[in-house]
Structure 1
């Protein structure tokens, strides 16, 4: 027991020494580390770089401007969590539940969202360069009716979106250069004025998709079903 207490004390002390001054509630940080549960907690601006927060309960938590670079949040429950302006570079969100989470203006460079539940997630102005979204669950209603790109500048450069069901998704005016959309269902998707240069669209279903004003130079289209319903021969 003493060893456990000492280990926890050392862990918390280390966190305090490495963390910059922030608005995060110290009691909430202690609760998070000791109980691995902090539902509705104020962790705004917290320095949680490289921490193992896998399977933690952070539902409704406030994590605005938090530094979570390299953290492990696999399997975490982040339903309705607010991660606005958070640095999420390299975060492992695999199989995490992010339903209704706010990721606006966040930096998701190289993050792993494979298998994550992203229903109704808000990604306005988020940067998803090199993000892995394989098998992530999306709610098409959000893409269509919640202005994913109303403000614009979403960056999905080199994002891995292969095999996703994005039928009817509004992906207009988004940077998708080099993105992997192979084997995805993109039927009725809106790509107006998007940048799809060098994107991988092999074997994707593009039936009735709208590419008006889109740049598809260098895109891989082998085996894809064109908007007119005909398959492209390799």
Structure 2
């Protein structure tokens, strides 16, 4: 699935765990409630994707484009987000963060507010 064009695809509740989806185009895809445990999404395009309540435990999101993605309720525990772009991503309501980031690697990631994480 590396480099696959899945833009706009309905992948709701699908189990894609452990798959190599590096460089895949998942822009505008519906991945709500999907199981993406240890999936390789290195350099993937997830712009404006719906990742509501997606399980992305230990996923590789290195350099992934998550601009404008809906991450509310997603579990990104242990995920590698180095260099990922989360500009404008939905992560909660008001000042409440509703994304689990326990142990996530955020070095160099562009956060939803546009600032680069140290």
**Same-fold call, TM > 0.5?**
yes
1:205 corresponds to 2:83: no
Structural mapping, 1:121-136, within 5 Å: 121-136=49-64
Distance 2:19 2:62 in 1: 15
Would you say the 8 A contact 1:187–1:205 is kept in 2? no
Aligned-residue RMSD, C-alpha: 1.9
| Aligned match for 1:112, one of 40, 54, 65 | 40
> Residue 102 of structure 1 aligns with which residue?
30
Change (3 A) 1:161 1:82: same
> Whose RCO is larger (CA < 8 A, sep 6+)?
2
**Structure 1 stretches of at least 4 aligned residues deviating more than 6 Å after TM superposition:** none
Change (3 A) 1:77 1:170: closer
Alignment deviations for residues 82-113 of structure 1 (CA, whole Å, 9 cap, x no partner): 11111111011011111111111110000000
Would you say the 8 A contact 2:39–2:59 is kept in 1? yes
Deviation of 1:185 after TM superposition, in Å, equals 2.4
Distance 1:185 1:99 in 2: 18
Q: Which has the higher helix share?
A: 1
Distance 2:27 2:60 in 1: 17
- TM-score, with structure 1 as normaliser: 0.45
| Aligned match for 1:158, one of 65, 78, 82 | 78
Distance 1:205 1:98 in 2: 23
- TM-score, with structure 2 as normaliser: 0.84
Would you say the 8 A contact 1:167–1:188 is kept in 2? yes
Structure 1 stretches lacking a partner, 5+ long: 1-72, 190-203, 207-223, 225-234
